Structure 1
Amino acid sequence: MVRIHVIDGANGFVASHLIGTLLAQGDEVIALARASAEVVRRRVADALGCLGLDESPAGRLRVRGLALDEPDLGLPFAEVFAEPCTYWHVAALVTFFPRREEELLDVNVTGSANTLSAYERHARPGSRYILVGTAYQCGLDTEGPVPEDWPSHDPPDRFRNFYEYSKRQAEIALARSRSVREGTALVARLGVMVGHSRTGRALTDYGLYDFLRVISFFARRTPGERVRIPCHPDANLHLTPVDTTVSRLVSLAAADRVRPVSHVVNGATVPVRDLFDVINAHLPIELVPATLEEIRDRPFSRFEAVVNMRAKYTAVYFRHHYEFAWRDATAPPAVTRSTLDRLISWYVREGLPE
């Protein structure tokens, strides 16, 4: 049976891989994006290649323009919602930089509200709405496992950055919706997205790769330096390869009954110490995890201070230990040391700017 999917943010990292997987299994996809149809099809073809699949299905992809800031999204509703579908709201602004609060609210909160409103007004009976969120919407509340449950309101200062706050607000609005009351909407919270688990290939520069880009710049400019990075003693990351993540999202959408909130993360996490060891093996630098107390007792050198300043927006995630409640029956493959080595080595070889 051919299923119909409507996916916004179609030229993004997760959405393009999701679209490619769905097309490859024979489903029909309507891709929504601000980018041109040519750009979206090229991104989906690249994602299919990254997944080791035939790239030709990208040619039959239907692409329509999207305007998240408009209540009607600028869409031809009669076409987009002609039949029951799964609507994937993947589009988001991802930035940890300050002074972009208004943009984050416009895209991640108002934009999400507009997609939900359009879906509820126009989707045919039998449709489902899926918000792709982030497990890190938990903010600074990391005592014990974060439950797979709808969040409560917290002020912006309870989050590492305004991006997390904006994603929390989008979830809160969805939780109050008619679609949730009727059991036709859910949120899938992702971990830290990384490349393909078997090849290491990544089509993104966000998250871990932003940190790698900063460290690589200093490692190649001043090789052999030792740099302490502030870390929680048990700092860990929920790295989630794009191939296993997309497979789980597809299974989630196909299930007859699903929980309203699901953490799409690995059962096992990656210790930050292991991450640093692998980076040190591939770049001419020595990254060392250090507690805040150790740094207070022996302050940064000038070089360490500069590196930490440049990396601070992503390195803030090293300062916590995270646990996410997770109730799936089958755990995806863990990101092992060898998987981590593939991810880092591919990006150092192929992904870094010249």
Structure 2
Amino acid sequence: MADHVVDGANGFVASHLIGALVARGDSVVALARAGEEVVRRRVADALTTLHLNPALAEKVQVERFSLAEPELGTSTSEVFAEPCTYWHSAALITFFPRREAELHAVNVVGSANAAAAFSRHAKPGSRYVHVGTAYQHGTTQGKALEQWPEYGHPSEFRNDYEHSKRTAEVDLSRTELARKGAVLVARLGVMVGHSGTGRALSDLGIYDFIRVIALFARRTPGERVRFVCHPRAALHLTPVDGTVDRMLALAAGPLDRPVRHLVPSAAVPVTDVFAAISRHLPVELVAVTAADVEAEPFGRFEAIVNMRCKFTSPYFRYEYGFESHEDAEPPPVTPRILDLLISWYVREGLPE
């Protein structure tokens, strides 16, 4: 039986990770700010998504913790009683402005506290996995490489969230922990639901965009809405089931390549995403260039929708490339899977 410690346990990725771990018989200590009931419910939901027994959530040991405290606000002697794999998944994810200080406190200082606590208390043979984002590459041109990053100025990123995740990686790269080769950085793509059913317990990323579109489409059906997009814009949509499988395999293998991109080799064109949404909601989404909008300015309805989508639509305006290798690539999102993801969320995930 392997031992794992997972922080941010009630998060989307972490809850599915914990579900997969307990289902294979591993021992898991789940660290979360949320209460025990919330964590167990999230893990049970994740187990259901993964077609596993939700009752296995009762096997998880849940402990309160705080990234704001150097000792994580928990009993480190108990948490690190055995050699373990520590999964640092806790993060603040928001694209809203004026949250820079909060993002820095959680994603940068909090990440440093987690790594430091692990370094002080983890038993020999333990491993540290930092869950990051492939989009920490920011708006830098060219392919993002699987290597430790250099510091980037805030102006090089679409939002403060990306900048905070880059800074956390830079700080981690300078630790003794990284120099000893006991670290894996797992950079994830745009997380989506289960590849077999489309089920998703998340309102982030593409789901936030769908929610906004649905709000306007149902109020004013039949409208056309244009978004400025890069001609080759595509999103690295990453199903949670394939992602968890890859995370487990990489964390158990050699750590000679500490930074890995867990993104599919084939991204999904934004035009395909728009078409899938338009099939399931009474709206026509259209990808256009900035020159198109200059020639035909947004109407009032289009302008309002674009304003409400201003935190996710910037991701349509770039072409992304990520270095990746077959052992880290989750299966791609095919047209069938994309339709499942969109249709499930429109049917089951949207607020009434």
Q: TM-score, normalised by structure 1?
A: 0.98
Letter in 1 for 2:112: A
Kindly report which structure 2 residues correspond to 1:49-68, keeping only aligned pairs within 5 A, or say none. Answer: 49-68=48-67
2:11: which partner in 1?
Answer: 12
2:210: which partner in 1?
Answer: 212
Letter in 2 for 1:172: V
- Gap runs ≥5 in structure 1: none
Q: What SS does the aligned partner of 1:313 have?
A: coil
Aligned length: 352
1:252 counterpart = 2:250: yes
1:110: which partner in 2?
Answer: 109
2:173: which partner in 1?
Answer: 175
1:300 counterpart = 2:298: yes
Distance 1:331 1:9, change over 3 A: closer
1:324: which partner in 2?
Answer: 322
Deviation at 1:114, TM superposition (A): 0.4
Deviation at 1:330, TM superposition (A): 7.1
Task: Tell me the distance in 1 between the aligned counterparts of 2:20 and 2:341.
Answer: 21
Kindly report which structure 2 residues correspond to 1:109-258, keeping only aligned pairs within 5 A, or say none. Answer: 109-143=108-142, 145-258=143-256
Residues 4 and 87 of structure 2 are in contact (CA less than 8 Å); yes or no, is this contact kept in structure 1?
yes
Task: Tell me the distance in 2 between the aligned counterparts of 1:333 and 1:81.
Answer: 34
Deviation at 1:57, TM superposition (A): 1.4
Residues 252 and 258 of structure 1 are in contact (CA less than 8 Å); yes or no, is this contact kept in structure 2?
no
Residues 260 and 324 of structure 2 are in contact (CA less than 8 Å); yes or no, is this contact kept in structure 1?
yes
Task: Tell me the distance in 2 between the aligned counterparts of 1:353 and 1:257.
Answer: 42
Deviation at 1:305, TM superposition (A): 0.4
Deviation at 1:154, TM superposition (A): 1.1
2:2: which partner in 1?
Answer: 3
Residues 142 and 323 of structure 1 are in contact (CA less than 8 Å); yes or no, is this contact kept in structure 2?
no
Q: What SS does the aligned partner of 1:64 have?
A: strand
1:267: which partner in 2?
Answer: 265
Task: Tell me the distance in 2 between the aligned counterparts of 1:212 and 1:95.
Answer: 16
Distance 1:171 1:152, change over 3 A: same
Kindly report which structure 2 residues correspond to 1:271-350, keeping only aligned pairs within 5 A, or say none. Answer: 271-329=269-327, 331-350=329-348
- Gap runs ≥5 in structure 2: none
Percent identical: 61
Task: Tell me the distance in 2 between the aligned counterparts of 1:64 and 1:332.
Answer: 31
Residues 184 and 251 of structure 2 are in contact (CA less than 8 Å); yes or no, is this contact kept in structure 1?
no
Deviation at 1:161, TM superposition (A): 0.2
2:98: which partner in 1?
Answer: 99
Deviation at 1:75, TM superposition (A): 1.3
Q: What SS does the aligned partner of 2:323 have?
A: coil
Task: Tell me the distance in 2 between the aligned counterparts of 1:26 and 1:330.
Answer: 23
Q: What SS does the aligned partner of 2:221 have?
A: coil
Residues 146 and 325 of structure 1 are in contact (CA less than 8 Å); yes or no, is this contact kept in structure 2?
yes
Residues 231 and 290 of structure 1 are in contact (CA less than 8 Å); yes or no, is this contact kept in structure 2?
yes
Task: Tell me the distance in 2 between the aligned counterparts of 1:68 and 1:331.
Answer: 30
Deviation at 1:331, TM superposition (A): 4.5
Residues 21 and 48 of structure 1 are in contact (CA less than 8 Å); yes or no, is this contact kept in structure 2?
yes
Q: What SS does the aligned partner of 1:321 have?
A: coil
Task: Tell me the distance in 2 between the aligned counterparts of 1:171 and 1:333.
Answer: 26
Deviations 1:42-87 (A, max 9, x none): 1100100010001121101100111111111111011100111000
Deviations 1:237-263 (A, max 9, x none): 000000000010011111134411000
Task: Tell me the distance in 2 between the aligned counterparts of 1:286 and 1:235.
Answer: 18
Q: What SS does the aligned partner of 2:213 have?
A: helix
Deviation at 1:327, TM superposition (A): 1.9
Deviation at 1:23, TM superposition (A): 0.4
Letter in 2 for 1:219: A
Deviations 1:119-153 (A, max 9, x none): 0010010001110000000000032x210011111
Distance 1:11 1:233, change over 3 A: same
Q: What SS does the aligned partner of 1:146 have?
A: coil
Task: Tell me the distance in 2 between the aligned counterparts of 1:329 and 1:128.
Answer: 19
Deviation at 1:160, TM superposition (A): 0.2
Letter in 2 for 1:303: F
Task: Tell me the distance in 1 between the aligned counterparts of 2:255 and 2:348.
Answer: 41
Q: What SS does the aligned partner of 2:132 have?
A: strand
Task: Tell me the distance in 1 between the aligned counterparts of 2:98 and 2:255.
Answer: 41
Residues 263 and 329 of structure 2 are in contact (CA less than 8 Å); yes or no, is this contact kept in structure 1?
no
2:31: which partner in 1?
Answer: 32
Deviation at 1:297, TM superposition (A): 1.7
1:69 counterpart = 2:57: no
Q: TM-score, normalised by structure 2?
A: 0.99
